[in-house]
Chains A and B, each alone.
Chain A
Amino acid sequence: MERTQLNGRLMILKRPHFQIPSLTEAQALLERVKEQFPLSELPSQLWEYVYYDTFDSRLYKNQQLLRQETRTDVGDESWLCWLSLTGNRVLQRGRSPVQESVIQQLPSIPLRPLLEPILHPRALLSLFKIAVQQEWLVWKNKDDKTVLRVMLESTQLFRENYLEDLQHRLIILPFRGYPKPSQQIIRFCREESLEELNEDLFQIVCSKLELKPGSYQPKPKLKLSPLGRTDQALRAILGESTKVMDLNHQGTIEAPDTEFLHDFRVACRRARSALNQLKGVFPPEQIQGFRDDFAWLSDRTGPTRDLDVYLLDFNSYQTQLPEEQQADLEAFRELLLTENAKEQKLLAKDLQSKRFQKFRSTWEQFLKDETPSTTPGGAAEVRKTASKRLLRSYHRCLAEGKAIDEDSPDEALHDLRKSCKKLRYLLEFFESLWSTKEFQGILKPLKALQEDLGQFNDCSVQQESLKNFGDMLAKQQPVPAQTLVAMGMLVSTLNQRQAEARQRFQGSFSGFASTRTQNRFNLLFQQPTVAEELN
C-alpha cells in the first residue's frame, strides 16, 4: 500500500478519488461495484464542510487545507480536518466543538501544536461552505473485520440563495495492513475509465467563487515605466498602497487578528511617505488635504498597533524575567488587554466615520483622475526624479549618521532611523526602474543599518511606555507592587539591549557609508537617463 513521507515525518495513507460524471452514473456504478465485490451498504450521511485559512493563505501556501466537517442529519458530530492540498491525504482529524466560529479555539489535542506555528499570529477565517452527501460501503473479511471502506461523495456549494452542484466522487479509504481490497477496487475504477482526481474540491470552488488564494501581497511589486511621467508614477504608487488599505479595511475594523491593522498601517505610511517625499509633483493645494488625512490615519492607528505589539511580545517579556517573577507581570497583561480593547473600539469608529468616508471618496477621485499635473515636477521623467530624490535622501542619511558620536543624544539616532526609513521607501517605490542585481548591493547595507536602528528605537520606546504603564498601574487600588518591580526589571534589560544596539550601530553605519556603497549609489543614480542617452 502506498504510504508517503510528508514533512519528513508523517506517514499518511493516500485516499484515491475518482470522478463520476453524473448522479445516475454514480448509482449505476455503485450497483456494479456491489456486484463485483463483497461490499455492504451503510446508512448514508449528510455533512457540511467549511473551509478555513488565514487572510494571507498560510495553509494554502503550505500546500494544506483546514476544514470543519459537521454532521447535519443526525447527532452533533464535528471534526476539524487538516488535509494536504494535493494527493488527497488527511494529515490529521480532531474532534471540534460544534460552533460556527470554532476556530478561535482550536481543539487542544492534537491539531493545535501542529497548526499554531504556521498560523501565528493570524486568525483562521471561513472561506466557503459545501453540503456533502455520503453513501458508504464497507468490505468485511470472513472474520467480520473491516478491510476497506468506499464512499460516494456528492457535493454542493452554498451560494447566496441556492445550492450549486459540484461533483460526485468515489473515494477509496484503504485500511492499513490490508492492501488487497483497495488494489482491487482501484483497478476496477481504472477499468471503468474513471478519472482519478489528485486534488480536493478546494481548487474547483475557488475558481467558481473567483477566490485567488495566495495572491494577497502586503507590499505589491510595482512595475513603473522608466520614461513615464512622474505624476503617473506617483499615482501608481499611491494606487497600490490604497489597494492594500482597502483589502485590510474591514479586517482592521473587526480585528480577528492583529495583522490587518499592521498591513493597513504600513500601506498608509507608504502612501504618506510618497506624498510627502515627492514634493512638487502635484500642486500643493491639490494634495494638502490628503496629507492631513494620512497624518490623521497614522495618528489614529498608532495606539492600537503599539498595544498589539506589546501583547504579541508579551511571552518574550515574561521569559526575560526569572521564573519566579514571571507571573507578576499578569496585572500588566490585564492592563494591556483593557487598553487595547478601548483603543480598538475608537479605531473602528474612526475607520467608519464620515471623515474617513469623505477622505476615501475624494482620494478615489484623485487617483482616477488622469489629467496631467500642471507642475514641472509632475511632467518630469520618473527615472530622473527618482535618481535625484534617492541621491539626496542617501546623502542626508550619510550626513546625519556621520554627525553621530558617542556623546550624541538618543534623538540623533531616532532622526537617522526616520531618514533611513524614507530612503527605504523611495528605494521600494522605484525598484522596478533599475535591475534587481544592482539594487541588492545598496539595499543590503541599508537593511543592516535599519535593523540596528530599529532595535535601538524599539527598546527606547518600550522603556518609555513601560514607565507610563507603570504609572497607570501605580494608581490602581490595591497597587500591584510585584508587578511594578517586574516591570522595572524589564526596563533595565531593555536599557541594556538598547545600549548593545547602539554599539552595533557604528559597525552597520560604516557599511552603509563605505566608499563602496557610496560609489554604488552615485553610479546608479547619477547616470544619464534613458532619454538623455538617446539624444
Chain B
Amino acid sequence: MQILASYNIKGGVGKTATSVNLAFQGAHEGARTLIWDLDPQGAATFYFRVRPKIKGGSRALLKGRHDLADLIKATDHENLDLLPSDFSYRTMDLLLDDTKKPNERLKLLLSPLAGEYDYVFLDCPPGLTLLSESIFEAANVLVVPVIPTSLSLRTLKQLVEFRRKKQLRNFKMLVFFPMTNP
C-alpha cells in the first residue's frame, strides 16, 4: 500500500484537484484506491457527493474507537473509496497534541488497511501543523502542487527547509505546476 499525500503549506494551489484526479486515475486502471479527505472544508468529499461526517468525529477517530475500515464509503467509481471529511477535523491539531507520539498517529490508523488498498491518497489541508507532521510520517510520497507565484515558491522553500532540518527521509517529494500549460 502506497500512501501519497497531496500537500502544500499554501492554500488554493490545487491539492484537492491533484489528489482527486490521481486517485480516480489509479482506480480507473484497476488499483484499489482510497482517498482520505483530511481537510475540514470537505472539498474532496463534496466532489463525490458523500456526507462530510464520520461517526464520533476526530476525537473518536484519533482514539481509535472505530475501525477506520468501518468509516469508509464507496464512491460512484469502481475501486475508489473515500474516507470522508468531518467538520471536527479543524480541531485535529489540538487533539493530536493530547495523544502520545502524535507524529505516528496517522500511520498507525492506516496500517490495518494495508491489505485492502493499493493506493491511499491524503487530501491535506494547508498549513504546517502537528497534523502535517503526522502526514509526513505516514506518507511514502508527498505530491506538492505549486503555482508560479513568489508566495507559493516561498512556502515550498519553507517545506524543503523543514524536511531538511527534521531529517524527514521516509517520503519522496514530487513538486509540480498543475495550473500551467506546458
A residues adjacent to B (C-beta < 8 A): 3, 8-11, 79-80, 92-95, 107, 109-111, 143-146, 175-178
Contact = CB atoms under 8 A, between A and B. Distances in A.
Most buried by B among A11, A143, A176: A176
B73 A178 contact: yes
Interface residues of B, number: 22
Contacts of A175: 73-74
A3 B116 CA distance: 12
Nearest to A177: B73
Contacts of B63: none
Given A10-B115, A176-B72, A176-B73, A92 B30 contact: yes
Interface in B65-108: 69, 71-74, 76, 78-79, 81
Given A93-B79, A109-B29, A178-B74, A144 B49 contact: yes
Contacts of B72: 176-177
28 contacts: A9-B115, A10-B115, A11-B69, A11-B115, A79-B30, A93-B30, A94-B30, A95-B28, A95-B29, A95-B30, A109-B30, A109-B118, A110-B32, A111-B30, A143-B49, A143-B50, A145-B49, A145-B50, A145-B76, A146-B76, A175-B73, A175-B74, A176-B73, A176-B81, A177-B71, A177-B72, A177-B81, A178-B73
Interface string B18-53: 000000000011111000000000000000111100
Nearest to B29: A95
B78 A93 contact: yes
Contacts of A111: 30
B74 A176 contact: yes
A179 to B, nearest CB: 11
A175 B115 CA distance: 19
Nearest to A12: B116
A109 B74 contact: no
B26 to A, nearest CB: 9
A110 B49 contact: no
Contacts of B118: 109-110
9 A-B pairs with least C-beta separation: A9-B115, A94-B30, A177-B73, A175-B74, A145-B49, A176-B74, A146-B76, A110-B118, A95-B30
B86 to A, nearest CB: 14
A93 B32 CA distance: 9
A145 B48 contact: yes
Contacts of A107: 30
A110 B30 contact: yes
Contacts of B30: 79-80, 92-95, 107, 109-111
Contact of B29 (A94, A176, A178): A94
Contacts of A110: 30-32, 118
Nearest to A138: B76
Given A144-B49, A145-B48, A145-B49, A92 B32 contact: yes
Given A3-B69, A9-B114, A143-B51, 9 more contacts: A93-B78, A109-B31, A109-B118, A110-B30, A143-B50, A145-B48, A145-B50, A175-B73, A177-B74
A515 B19 CA distance: 72
A105 to B, nearest CB: 15
Contacts of A177: 71-74, 81
A80 B79 CA distance: 13
Contacts of B114: 9
Contacts of A79: 30
Nearest to B83: A177
A340 B118 CA distance: 38
Contacts of A178: 73-74
A92 B78 CA distance: 11
A94 B30 CA distance: 4
